[in-house]
Amino acid sequence: MNPDLRNLIALQDIELKIAGLQKEAFDVPNKIQNLNNELQRVKTEHDARVAHMKEMAARRRSLEGEVDVLRSKLSRLKDQLMAVKTNKEYTAMLHEIQLAEAQIRGEEDRILELMEETEGKEKNLKGEEQVMLTKSAELQEAIRQTNQSVPLLEAELARLREQRALMESRIGAELLARYRRIAEARRGVALAEAKDELCSACHVRIRPQMYAELMRTDNIHVCDSCSRILFSRESI
């Protein structure tokens, strides 16, 4: 293979790696922000479940307080019942007692429902808390690793840039300028592999004569469709 073409292939491989690492480095802040958002979401959802449990406990205490008040009222009504003198007063007092007893039964039913609901949620909460802690630890580790990747990315980029400069020094100025023009027009990809008589970049068929010359000569050819410089890995 033409040595200049071999150097161009190596240069493009380096530059594609650089572009990939640059994108990875550029995405680091967004990645960390997304991980932090997810971590906050996991914690917020757990805190909401805990707050709901506390709210249910407060409702239960409130209902129990109301029942205590009703029981005191019921006790007073029963005491007063013994002191009434007429049937009308007795009937009215008895009606109040029955209402108080019905209220107490209603409140006690609500308390029982809350107790059953709370018991089920408490069991689930323990499992959900463990899931939250595990997920939080995983997210925190991902954040730590992502932060640590930055200096590694920068070091690898510095190494590849040195390799790029070295490779550029091995390529003639005219051919390098040609490569740069094509790369700029083709999103950084100036070279394309010729395989099975097709350009691997634009997938257009290569003229048979050109393909034959590409396979047997060191001349540099370009794709008639996308203008990229063609090469064959079979000849590398």
In terms of domains, do 166 and 187 share one? no
CATH number of the structural domain spanning residue 144: 1.10.287.1490
**Considering the domain boundaries, does residue 10 fall inside one?**
no
Residue 64 has pLDDT above 70, yes or no: yes
Given 170, 190, 216, the domain boundary residue is 170
Looking up tokens 């249910």 gives 56
Report CA-CA distances (Å) from 65 to 73, 77, 104.
12, 18, 11
In terms of domains, do 119 and 182 share one? no
Q: What is the CB neighbour count within 10 angstroms for residue 165? A: 10
Domain that residue 231 falls in: 176-235
Per-residue model confidence (pLDDT) at position 11: 96
**Considering the domain boundaries, does residue 205 fall inside one?**
yes
Average pLDDT, the chain: 92
- 86 torsion bin: left (phi>0), alpha (psi -120 to 50), beta (else): beta
Q: How far is CA 7 from its chain centroid? A: 40
In terms of domains, do 51 and 148 share one? yes
Number of domains into which the chain is organized: 2
pLDDT category at 236 given cuts 50, 70, 90 is low
In terms of domains, do 102 and 149 share one? yes
Per-residue model confidence (pLDDT) at position 235: 58
pLDDT category at 2 given cuts 50, 70, 90 is confident
In terms of domains, do 68 and 122 share one? yes
Q: Tell me how far apart the alpha carbons of residues 231 and 19 are, in angstroms, rounded to a whole number.
A: 21
- Tell me the per-residue pLDDT of 209-226, one tens digit each, with 9 for 90 and over: 999 988 887 889 999 999
- Tell me the per-residue pLDDT of 98-130, one tens digit each, with 9 for 90 and over: 999 999 999 999 999 889 888 888 888 888 999
**Considering the domain boundaries, does residue 17 fall inside one?**
no
In terms of domains, do 38 and 137 share one? yes
In terms of domains, do 100 and 85 share one? yes
- Tell me the per-residue pLDDT of 139-170, one tens digit each, with 9 for 90 and over: 999 999 999 999 999 999 999 999 999 999 99
